[in-house]
Chain A
Amino acid sequence: GDSVTQMEGPVTLSEEAFLTINCTYTATGYPSLFWYVQYPGEGLQLLLKATKADDKGSNKGFEATYRKETTSFHLEKGSVQVSDSAVYFCAQTAPGYSTLTFGKGTMLLVSP
């Protein structure tokens, strides 16, 4: 079935470092892809999305490009801040479906 695999954490970085969190998916069709973020004590909120191959989603300095050839949607940010410390979830949804399939989440810890 459809699934999402993302790198295990925690990812520990110093402020202003470059961030990559890897995400790959398996799907029978061409899904839409998402990154959600969960700050401590809160629910998940949408960070960015992409609906077709080669689309780039971006928000708050984060970017991810939908790569059909490698079935990937890696999250990147050029310079992380302490306030980016959170758990990041990659997710997909198949066309015509309402439900999302999530990865297991990657915790990011940024130190000053």
Chain B
Amino acid sequence: DVKVTQSSRYLVKRTGEKVFLECVQDMDHENMFWYRQDPGLGLRLIYFSYDVKMKEKGDIPEGYSVSREKKERFSLILESASTNQTSMYLCASSPGLSPSGANVLTFGAGSRLTVL
């Protein structure tokens, strides 16, 4: 089975701190994604990457950046954390596009970040 591992399940940070959220997948997937999940808002795409060193903005990239130096690892960076970035962050990966377009994502367990 594909496994997507997020290094931290729970983090507490202070306003202004730099925060790194790490994600590793073990099935050689091309695509990796970062979503945030908030009550009443569902999942919103922050950034995604379809290849090493490639990145694309999602729907809510402001205040975030990403890094993909190796195929298996996709990092989300909060340069200066703010309280409105308190949320659950979900990493996912998927293979390259299938002809049917049925791009199935495999998710990690999530990282719950609290910014004080």
Which B residues have a C-beta under 8 Å from some C-beta of A?
A: 4, 31, 33, 35, 40-43, 45, 48, 50, 58, 90, 92, 94, 97, 100-110
Tell me if B107 and A97 are in contact (CB < 8 A): no
Quick check: B101 and A31 within 8 Å, CB to CB?
A: yes
A32-B101, A93-B101, A100-B105 provided; 7 other pairs, C-beta below 8 A? A43-B107, A44-B105, A46-B105, A49-B104, A93-B103, A97-B97, A104-B41
> Chain A residues in contact with chain B, CB under 8 A?
31-32, 34, 36, 41-46, 49, 51-52, 89, 93-100, 102-105
Q: Is the CB of A49 within 8 A of B101?
A: no
A42 to B50, CA, bound (A): 25
Q: What residues of B have a CB within 8 angstroms of the CB of A99 in the complex? A: 33, 45, 48, 58
- CB–CB A46/B43 < 8 A: no
Question: B1 to nearest A CB, angstroms?
Answer: 10
Count of inter-chain pairs, beta carbons less than 8 A:
66
A-B contacts, 28 of them at CB < 8 A, read: A31-B101, A32-B100, A32-B103, A43-B4, A43-B107, A43-B110, A44-B43, A45-B106, A49-B104, A51-B101, A89-B42, A93-B102, A93-B103, A97-B97, A97-B101, A97-B103, A98-B31, A98-B48, A98-B50, A98-B94, A99-B33, A99-B48, A99-B58, A100-B103, A100-B105, A102-B42, A103-B42, A104-B42
